[in-house]
Structure 1
Amino acid sequence: MSDQISPKQFRESEGVEDWRVVGDGANAFFRTGSLAAGARLVQAIGALPGVDDLRPDVDVRHDGVTVRMVAFIEGYGGMIQGHVELARKISAAARKLGLSADPSAVQSLLVIPGATSRAEVMPFWRAVLGYEPRRDSPAEDLVDPRNRGVPFWFEQMKEPRRDGGGAIHIAVWVPYEQAEARIAAALAAGGRMVRDEFAPSWWTLADAAGNEADIATTKGRD
Structure 2
Amino acid sequence: MTDAISPRDFRAAPGTADWRVVGDGARAYFRTGDRGAGSFAAGAALVAAIAVLAEQAGHHPDVDLRYGGVGVRLISHDVGDISERDLALAREISATARALGLPAEPAAVQSLQIAIDAVDVAAVRAFWRAVLGYSPVEDADLADPRALGPNVWIQSIEEPRPERNTIHLDLYLPRDAVDTRLAAALAAGGRLVDDSNAPEWWTLADPEGNEVDLAPWRDDSEWSA
The two structures have a TM-score, normalised by structure 2, of 0.91
For 1:191 and 1:161, locate their aligned partners in 2 and report how far apart those are by CA, in whole Å.
22
User: Is 210-219 or 29-38 further displaced after alignment?
Assistant: 210-219
2:36 corresponds in structure 1 to none
Matched, 1:78 2:77: no
C-alpha offsets along residues 142-173 of structure 1, whole Å, 9 cap, x if unaligned?
0000111110001111112131x223200111
Letter in 2 for 1:64: G
Tell me the CA shift for residue 5 of structure 1: 0.7
Query: Which aligned runs of 4 or more in structure 1 are off by greater than 2 angstroms?
Result: 49-53, 219-222
Q: How does 1:163-174 map to 2 (within 5 A)?
A: 163=163, 165-174=164-173
Letter in 1 for 2:142: L
2:102 corresponds in structure 1 to 99
CA contact (8 A) 1:200 1:220 kept: no
Matched, 1:12 2:16: no
For 1:220 and 1:39, locate their aligned partners in 2 and report how far apart those are by CA, in whole Å.
31
CA contact (8 A) 1:171 1:216 kept: yes
Tell me the CA shift for residue 185 of structure 1: 1.3
RCO (CA 8 Å, sep 6+): is it higher in 1 or 2?
2
Tell me the CA shift for residue 70 of structure 1: 0.9
For 1:54 and 1:220, locate their aligned partners in 2 and report how far apart those are by CA, in whole Å.
24
Tell me: CA distance 1:2–1:10, structure 2 relative to 1, closer, same or farther (3 Å): same
Tell me the CA shift for residue 221 of structure 1: 3.6
Match of 1:35 among 31, 34, 40: 40
Identity %: 51
Matched, 1:188 2:193: no
Tell me the CA shift for residue 50 of structure 1: 4.7
The two structures have a TM-score, normalised by structure 1, of 0.92
1:64 corresponds in structure 2 to 69
1:45 corresponds in structure 2 to 50
Partner of 2:58, secondary structure, is helix
1:201 corresponds in structure 2 to 200
Q: How does 1:72-221 map to 2 (within 5 A)?
A: 72-73=77-78, 76-134=79-137, 136-137=138-139, 141-163=141-163, 165-217=164-216, 218-219=218-219, 221=221
Partner of 1:98, secondary structure, is coil
Partner of 2:65, secondary structure, is strand
User: Is 11-20 or 209-218 further displaced after alignment?
Assistant: 209-218
Partner of 1:200, secondary structure, is coil
CA contact (8 A) 2:8 2:220 kept: no
**RMSD of the TM alignment (CA)?**
1.5
Unaligned runs of 5+ in 2: 34-38
Tell me the CA shift for residue 24 of structure 1: 3.0
Higher helix share: 2
Number of residue pairs matched? Answer: 216
